[in-house]
Amino acid sequence: MTPPRPGDTPRIDEADARPLLVDDTSRDASPLLRLLLGLLAGATAVGIGLVGVVGGDRPALLPLLVADHLEESGVSNPVTAVLLNFRGYDTLLEIAVLLAAMAAVWSLDRGSRQFGRPSGEPEAQPVLEALIRVAVPVALVTSVYLTWVGSTEPGGAFQAGALLAGGGVLLTVSGLVRPPTAASATVRAFVAGGVAGFVLAGLVLLPITGAFLAYPEGWAYPMIVAIEVLLTLSIAVVLVELFVDVPAVPDPDPSLDALDSSGDPLGRALAAAEREDRP
Amino acid sequence: MTSLDLYTVAGALIFALGLHAVLVRGHLFWKVLAINVMGTGIFLVLLAAPARSTPGVADPVPQAMVLTGIVVAVAATALALGVALRVTARTGAPFLPDPDDDREGGG
């Protein structure tokens, strides 16, 4: 592994990260510390268990409140009503957290990876491909059903998006579909579409009902379904992209390293622009 | 002891197991895994504990919180694994850098 120079952020080589997959107990806590931490963990378990089991039997107000206002929410599943109507703002922020995680992962620049069959390998992956043949269509149909049925039965955007992402990860990791990349505008549109659509809906409603994300009379159900569809697609793309993305920019050209010490394309472009500006 | 109490105790135990592992193990991958286990324990407690105070009526608010919490935990795990990958590739070892080690050049 080449030692890093000050100021450069080299693209990591997948082989360098191999130690992460090999168990190594050399840095674990000593037996004494282990015992103390075991006692601490045991005390935590006892504490949480006691509070949960014996803790105050105050009557909870929220379930009754939700049940009282369920008809106004536009859906008959109380969880979906809470997620997309009563606590819609929380859901918006959760989707924004997904977007933030995506931005952080994209900035990590984990390096190029090969998925699926390495070129030149004659044998296929029969078990994986048979699993994909069965699992991916089922995942696709079930996720569409889950998005739709979330208004009456347990279901909704998050479950459907996660299921769709599972199918997507199967497809990309096996090499049958090219993995998504941040360079693709479609991928970026889907990743940002969840937050953007949700915020746009709220802003559009602001002059109509006077409050951000307050659904007008009778419009709650169609708006919830529309937002759920948008969220399902966005969550699915974000989850797949979080785990199987490939870098957006090609590896930096090593011949240019002689001119400047920055290893990333943006740094090179900035250095080149600076050189042009200098008289 | 009802079955709900059993779920609460199980959730507390799972959380404690994850807490112990994240503190004891030095290997980054196991730390990420242990935090995931802690999250699972918390979700179990969040679902079971409120249910006993309103028998017969399912409390939808913690259920909604856990639903979104699961997906956010998945995203956070992806980020943690990405950071662990990068730390391993740069330092050559799957551990957090020891502050007593000599400092190398560069980030």
Higher pLDDT, B89 or A13: B89
Classified by CATH at the fold level, domain B3-91 comes out as Helix Hairpins (1.10.287)
Q: How far apart are CA A226 and CA A222, in angstroms?
A: 6
Q: From chain A, pick out residues whose CB is under 8 angstroms from the CB of B48.
A: 52
Question: What residues does each domain of chain A span?
Answer: 74-107+125-247
In degrees, rounded to 5, the angle at the alpha carbon of residue A234 between the alpha carbons of residues A231 and A240 is: 135
Buried b (16+ CB within 10 A) or exposed e, A141-166: ebbeebbbebbeeebbbbbbbbbbbb
Partner-chain contact B72 A94, CB within 8 Å? yes
Within 225-254 of A, beta carbons closer than 8 Å to B belong to: 235, 238-239, 242-243
Radius of gyration (C-alpha) of chain B in whole angstroms: 18
Q: How far off is chain A from B36, nearest CA to CA, in Å?
A: 16
Across chain A, mean pLDDT equals: 81
Task: Give the phi and the psi of residue A249 in degrees, each rounded to 5.
Answer: -105, 145
CB contact under 8 A, A59 and B57: no
Closest residue of chain A to B51, computed from CA coordinates? A60
- A141, two tokens: 């149909």
- Tens digits of per-residue pLDDT, B65-100? 999 999 999 999 999 988 888 888 777 788 887 776
* A171, A187 Cβ separation under 8 angstroms: no
DSSP-derived secondary structure letter, B95:
S
What pLDDT was estimated at residue A184? 82
Give the single-character DSSP code of A85.
I
Tell if the CB–CB gap between B12 and A79 is shorter than 8 Å: no
Is A3 close to B105, i.e. CB distance below 8 A?
yes
pLDDT band for B105, please (50, 70, 90 cuts).
very low
Mean pLDDT comparison of A65-74, B74-83, B97-106, highest-scoring range = B74-83
Reading the block at residue A278, the tokens are 């200098």
Residue B6 CA to residue B18 CA, distance in Å, equals 18
- Give yes or no for residue A121 having a pLDDT over 60: no
Domain ranges of chain B: 3-91
Q: What is the CA radius of gyration of chain A?
A: 25
Residue A32 forms contact with B (CB below 8 Å): no
CA distance A90 to chain B (A): 9
